C-alpha cells in the first residue's frame, strides 16, 4: 500500500483504528471512508462548552450558515458585543429581569444534530457550519472534532477567530477548515494591548503563517471601533498588512455597534464604551475606499 502517495489531509492518524486499515485488500476510497467513519465515531463524543447556536445566519461565512458560539476567550476587548462569551465558566446573566444560565456542555454529536437539520439550506446557498465565540480555538479539541466531523459529513466549515493561540493549534485544524475569517484589530501592539488586554504579535505572526499555508480561504475582518482604530491611517495600516498576505482576497470592515450594552448590565459589568457613537455611513465608506486603495483587495462593509 502506497501510504506516502495517499492524501492524508483531514485525517488524524493517531485517532484511527489500525484494524480498519485493510492493507491487503487495498481499496483507497473505502479506506478513506472507513477512516472518516473511525474519526467520526471517535470525535462525536468530544465535549465542549457553548453558549448559543444560531441557525439561518447569512453572516460569518458563505451562504446560509449555522453558527456555534463557543465559550471562552483570552482577550477582553472593550467593545466586545458578546461579553457572556469571554469567561469559560458557566454564568448567570439577567435578561429582561430574569436570570438566564449562559453556557452548556455538549458533545459534537449533539451539535451535529442541529447542524444536520439545515443541510438543505447549505446545499442551496453554498453555506455550512461556522464556529464563533468567544475564541473557538480556546477549546482546541472540541473545535477540531466538530470541524473534522462536519467536513467529513460534506458540510462546508468556517471559523471566526482572532488567531491568538499557538500556531500548532491552528495548523491542526487547517486541513478541516474551508474558510478562515480572521479578525485583525490593530497593527500597533501597545494600542492593541491597551484595548484588548494583549498585544497583537502572536496574532499577526499566525496571520502570516495561515496565509502562507494556502490551506484555507482566508478573509480579514476588522471591527471598526471609534477611538481605537477608526482613523484612515489606522485602517490603511491594517489593510496594507492584509494586502501583504498571500492568498487573502477580501477585507471586511465591521462597524462598531452597541448591541451588547444590555448584556454588560445583565452581567453586573460596566460598559466602557457607553459614550462612543457608532461610525457614520459616510465615514465607513471613506475607510472602505482607503482600505481597498492601499491593499488592492476587495473591501466590503459588514459580512
Ligand atoms: S476577541 Fe472577540 S470574543 Fe474575545 S473579547 Fe474580543 S470581541 Fe470579545
- Counts of helices then strands in the chain (DSSP H, E): 10, 11
- Model confidence at 37, in pLDDT bands (50, 70, 90)? low
C-alpha span between 4 and 85 (Å, rounded): 42
Predicted confidence (pLDDT) per residue in 208-234, tens digit? 999 999 999 999 999 999 999 999 999
Place 288 in a pLDDT band, splitting at 50, 70 and 90.
very high
> 26 in a domain, yes or no?
no
C-alpha 119 to ligand 1 mean position (Å): 29
pTM value?
0.86
- Atom in ligand 1 nearest the alpha carbon of residue 133: 3
Within-domain flag for 35 = no
Atom of ligand 1 nearest to the CA of 76: 5
* pLDDT (0 to 100) of residue 145: 97
Atom 8 (ligand 1) nearest CA: 80
3-class DSSP state of 63: coil
Confidence of residue 30 (pLDDT cuts 50, 70, 90): low
Q: Whose CA is nearest to atom 3 of ligand 1?
A: 134
Atom number in ligand 1 closest to CA 223: 7
Total domains in the fold of the chain? 1
Per-residue pLDDT tens over the stretch 151-192 = 999 999 999 999 999 999 999 999 999 999 999 999 999 999
Find the mean pLDDT for residues 193-199.
Answer: 97
Question: Does the beta carbon of 138 sit less than 6 angstroms from any atom of ligand 1?
Answer: no
Q: Is residue 142 part of a domain?
A: yes
- Which H/E stretch holds residue 42? helix 28-43
**Higher pLDDT among residues 180 and 26, named by residue:** 180
For residue 88, is it within any domain? yes
Residues in a beta bridge with 221: 183, 252
Mean predicted confidence (pLDDT) in 125-141:
97
Q: Domain limits at 207?
A: 40-301
Q: What is the domain-level CATH number for residue 52?
A: 3.20.20.70
Ligand 1 in reach of 82 Cβ (< 6 A): yes
Residue nearest to atom 2 of ligand 1 (CA): 134
- DSSP class of residue 68 equals E
Looking at residue 278, the DSSP 8-state letter turns out to be P
Ligand 1 pocket, 124 CB below 6 A? no
pLDDT at 15 over 70: no
Q: What is the b/e burial string over 278-289, where b = at least 16 CB atoms within 10 angstroms of the residue's CB?
A: ebeeebbeebbe
Distance 163 CA to ligand 1 centre (A): 11
In a domain, 290, yes or no: yes
Judge whether 6 lies within some domain: no
The verdict on residue 183 lying in a domain is yes
**Residue at 176 is within a domain:** yes
Cell reading at 206: 499566525
Amino acid at each position: 500500500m502506497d501510504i506516502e502517495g495517499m492524501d492524508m489531509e483531514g485525517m488524524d492518524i493517531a485517532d484511527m483504528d489500525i484494524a480498519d486499515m485493510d492493507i491487503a485488500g487495498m481499496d483507497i476510497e473505502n479506506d478513506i471512508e472507513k477512516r472518516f467513519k473511525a474519526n467520526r465515531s471517535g470525535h462525536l463524543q468530544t465535549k465542549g462548552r457553548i453558549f448559543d447556536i444560531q441557525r439561518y445566519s447569512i453572516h460569518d461565512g458563505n451562504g446560509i450558515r449555522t453558527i456555534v458560539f463557543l465559550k471562552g476567550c483570552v482577550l477582553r476587548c472593550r467593545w466586545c458585543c458578546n461579553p457572556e462569551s469571554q469567561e469559560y465558566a458557566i454564568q448567570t446573566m439577567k435578561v429582561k429581569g430574569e436570570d438566564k444560565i449562559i453556557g452548556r456542555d455538549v458533545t459534537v454529536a449533539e451539535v451535529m444534530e442541529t447542524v444536520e437539520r439545515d443541510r438543505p439550506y447549505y446545499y442551496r446557498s453554498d453555506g455550512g457550519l461556522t464556529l464563533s465565540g468567544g475564541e473557538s480555538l480556546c477549546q482546541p479539541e472540541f473545535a477540531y472534532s466538530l470541524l473534522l466531523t462536519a467536513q467529513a459529513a460534506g458540510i462546508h466549515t468556517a471559523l471566526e477567530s482572532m488567531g491568538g493561540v499557538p500556531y500548532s493549534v491552528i495548523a491542526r485544524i487547517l486541513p478541516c477548515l474551508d474558510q478562515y475569517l480572521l479578525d485583525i484589530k490593530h497593527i500597533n501592539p501597545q494600542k492593541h494591548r491597551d484595548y484588548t488586554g494583549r498585544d497583537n504579535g502572536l496574532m499577526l505572526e499566525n496571520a502570516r503563517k495561515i496565509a502562507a499555508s494556502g490551506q484555507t480561504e482566508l478573509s480579514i475582518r476588522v471591527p471598526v471601533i471609534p477611538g481605537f482604530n477608526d482613523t484612515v491611517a489606522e485602517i490603511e495600516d491594517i489593510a496594507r498588512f492584509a494586502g501583504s498576505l498571500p492568498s487573502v482576497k477580501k477585507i471586511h470592515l465591521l462597524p462598531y455597534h452597541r448591541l451588547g450594552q444590555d448584556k454588560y448590565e445583565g452581567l453586573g459589568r460596566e460598559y466602557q464604551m457607553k459614550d462612543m457613537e457608532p461610525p457614520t455611513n459616510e465615514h465607513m465608506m471613506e475607510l472602505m475606499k482607503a482600505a481597498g486603495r492601499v491593499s488592492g483587495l476587495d473591501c466590503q462593509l459588514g459580512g
